[in-house]
Chain A
Amino acid sequence: MTHCLIEHEWAAVVGLEIHAQISSKSKLFSGSQVHFAAPPNSLVSFFDASLPGTLPVLNRRCVEAAVMTGLALNCRINKKSLFDRKHYFYADLPAGYQITQQRLPIAVNGSLVYSFCAGKNRSQVINKTARVKQIQLEQDSGKSLHDDLRSQTLIDLNRAGVGLLEVVLEPDMSCGEEAATAVRELQLILQALGTSQANMAEGQLRVDANISVHHPGEPLGVRTEVKNLNSARFLAKAIDYEIQRQINELENGGEILNETRSFDSKLGCTIPMRDKEGKQDYRFMPEPNLPPLLLYDTESLPAGADPQQVIDIDRIREQLPELPSVTREKLVQQYGMLPEHSFTLLNEVGLLEFFQNVMKETRAEPKKVTSWVLNTLLGFLKQQNLAVSESPVTPSALAELLNLLDRKAISSSAAKQVFEELWRNEGKTPAQIVSEKKLELMQDQEALEQLCHAVMEGHPQVVMDVKKGNPRAINKLIGLVRKATLSRADPTVIKEILEKKLAS
């Protein structure tokens, strides 16, 4: 059952091929370093440049990353996997082939669970599962930059040979939002494992989508591949556009070609990719320079094996870091927050850490902290399109503010004012701001009672209204008292005092 909104009588089917750059010091088969934005062609070994006579040597860390990711996605880890050559000619592929795992990948048959907050108040959590067909290790290609002005193509091989995990998701998703949510969850898992930084802006996570439409109950339609969706923002948009394009095409009596398309973010549409016309025959061949990759578990580990030379799947499983779903569950249990709040905390980069740092320094109730972080802080950040790391308000500052609130040293409206002042980032602490703006709550109970008495005396008509049973009249009184206190009294306390006096 999908919650996607598609035109009636049409169903869409979306599968994904996700390439994640492995977070490792060196490349998959050579010793050159992996760095983002290094000077062009400064991280290229002889092997990366395809000089004849060089041979691939498998990077252990990349294999461990693949096993960790496979385990986190509930896959079966293949104790034996194979490497193959996939041949095609392109300027950013120096050897004329990519080393990948086509026949027998390292992990198969897993699942990715992702969740929506749906319903009226987004309070209903729906769990969906996308099956993981396989995870394979393969080389990344170099980068080509087309300089149309000078009719030339510039090639940077820094990225050539960097290790990739390709995660193939079966066509279990039904629309752009589902796909985007699945990708987001995969990103969080990879980041939690440390196997990939999965930053789409830096090209560490790239998504290709396979999309088709059909009438429910009928066979699946012809699919198109939309390649290189490299931004979280455009992922859902591109997929939904393509779904609609296919529906429109079919409803107008046209047909869908099994072709490759790319997304033009400026125009907001998918367009066919010129140089991918015609079916490519990749002439797959076993990679003769790499023997089969053999992995072990505690049972099959040969006695006296050199731990440097073998990988034990069970040991890796024991040492897996906490996955996002577990983190969210713990937040709900520990702090009593709503599930949808746990999602928001994890989905915003850096927000969970911010939250935890505030919790460390404050006595305020978790619910209050959650509210301030998710509503106030996040609201301000979103308004100015800032990342959590760019927040002018630090966790310590917010913690101090919440402590003042918790001690009832200030009212919540005063706290809001302080927050706005903190946001201006003039180097003042909450305590300083409170003192400068004279926002402290009146602590003198007797003085407050006298004020209340004075207001009541000064406004007999309103008092009459209250006694008559007008529910809104008391608010007027509270307002008058507040004004008299220059907003330095807690409205709840004022109300208590007034009610006591009125009763007597």
Chain B
Amino acid sequence: LGSDTGGSTRNPAAHCGLVGLKPSYGLVSRHGLIPLVNSMDVPGILTRCVDDAAIVLGVLAGHDPKDSTTIQDPVKPFVLPSLTDVSKLCIGIPKEYLTPELSSEVRSLWSKAANLFESEGAKVIEVSLPHTSYSIVCYHVLCTSEVASNMARFDGLEYGHRCDIDVSTEAMYAATRREGFNDVVRGRILSGNFFLLKENYENYFVKAQKVRRLIANDFVTVFNSGVDVLLTPTTLSEAVPYTEFIKEDNRTRSAQDDIFTQAANMAGLPAVSVPMALSNQGLPIGLQFIGRAFCDQELLTIAKWFEKQVQFPVIQLQELMDDCSSVFENEKLASVSLKQ
């Protein structure tokens, strides 16, 4: 289990060759989930195959009186059907997601996947989510605002790290929070508090909420026009090596990493990353399906069909152990050799 606020379950799933499911907001209780952005967080599910994700979802989903944002309906565990005929499906390809930053490998796999659906009889059409370009900025404003609020409780008084200063309560708070938060968190808190100031609230927070509504409406419009699921990349590329990764600051990396995933959190929609193939470097690449609100079962059903079609070379654990011990003997970094 993980949590998914802007893609934090789907993103690592794509990079590691796993299924990463973000359920519909309100389907799975957040009671017990340490909050980042209460209006976007969901518990995320990471599994080796789509059937497993469905099993876990069936257990976790349903109304929880302790979480007032869960829907009232109870949910029974379910088994995914094995789809054989996709001719009645309509797959939407959002044109705004074709960005220049997208790696050629991911673009090519995305195209391949679309063709796969079409060749098996599904209707595959290009759709538009016109407010996509505003999404990441809007996400940033709302995310930092809620973070600033949710982090206010970490003052060292009741639990957690507390510094030694005892000159005054204010001094203790300031030192504790300085020590206890790293600069990424402190940066988000400062941004968020800025957006929530009385003089800024209308122009930033409220504006962002309005844009959020437009983004959510984009999806509603597309789904109302007969599209069943959207097919998009999950990430811009395969996993970037650490030395490359640290060349950009966290803010930039977050914006890049979340670009395809955060809209589903903004709109509260279910989304799942399914591993498709290995890159030329031997690293996993996954693609994302986004479904209608509370149609998680339908979403997973289509994902399961896709998984069967692409036959991603899932790591077999015993072989991994064997290969690892030989690596330590030979002292070389591996891309692990895999069995089909």
Q: Which residues of A pack against B, CB within 8 Å?
A: 49-58, 85, 87, 89-91, 94-97, 151-153, 155, 281, 283-285, 288-291
Contact = CB atoms under 8 A, between A and B. Distances in A.
A96 B69 contact: no
B66 A55 contact: yes
Contact of B153 (A55, A91, A94, A283): A94
17 contacts: A50-B153, A52-B34, A52-B150, A52-B153, A54-B31, A85-B149, A89-B152, A89-B155, A94-B153, A151-B166, A152-B166, A281-B197, A285-B196, A288-B38, A288-B69, A288-B146, A291-B68
Nearest to A144: B169
A54 B148 CA distance: 17
Nearest to B148: A283
B152 A97 contact: yes
Contacts of A288: 37-39, 69, 146
A57 B34 contact: no
Nearest to A90: B169
B193 interface: yes
Contacts of B153: 50, 52, 94-96
B152 A96 contact: yes
A57 B152 contact: no
Given A285-B205, A288-B146, A53 B66 contact: no
A284 B173 CA distance: 21
B159 interface: yes
Given A285-B205, A289-B38, A289-B69, A53 B149 contact: no
B338 interface: no
A152 B158 CA distance: 15
A53 B33 contact: yes
A419 to B, nearest CB: 57
Contacts of B125: none
A85 B149 CA distance: 8
A155 B157 contact: yes
Contact of A89 (B30, B173, B198): B173
Contact of B196 (A54, A96, A283): A283
B152 A95 contact: yes
A289 B157 contact: no
Given A51-B159, A288-B39, A87 B152 contact: yes
Contacts of B149: 85, 87, 96-97, 283, 285
A290 B68 CA distance: 6
B67 interface: yes
B32 interface: yes
Contacts of B146: 285, 288
Given A285-B205, A288-B69, 14 more contacts: A51-B159, A52-B153, A89-B155, A94-B157, A96-B152, A96-B153, A281-B197, A281-B198, A283-B197, A284-B201, A285-B149, A288-B37, A289-B38, A289-B68
B187 interface: no
Contact of B69 (A89, A94, A283, A291): A291
Contacts of A89: 152, 155, 170, 173
Most buried by A among B38, B149, B151, B198: B149
Q: Which 4 A-B pairs give the minimum distances between C-beta atoms? A: A96-B152, A283-B196, A288-B38, A288-B39
Interface in B21-45: 30-35, 37-39
A151 B169 CA distance: 11
Contacts of B155: 89, 96
A343 B197 CA distance: 48
A91 B169 CA distance: 7
Contacts of B69: 288-289, 291
B31 A49 contact: no
A53 B35 contact: yes
Nearest to A279: B198
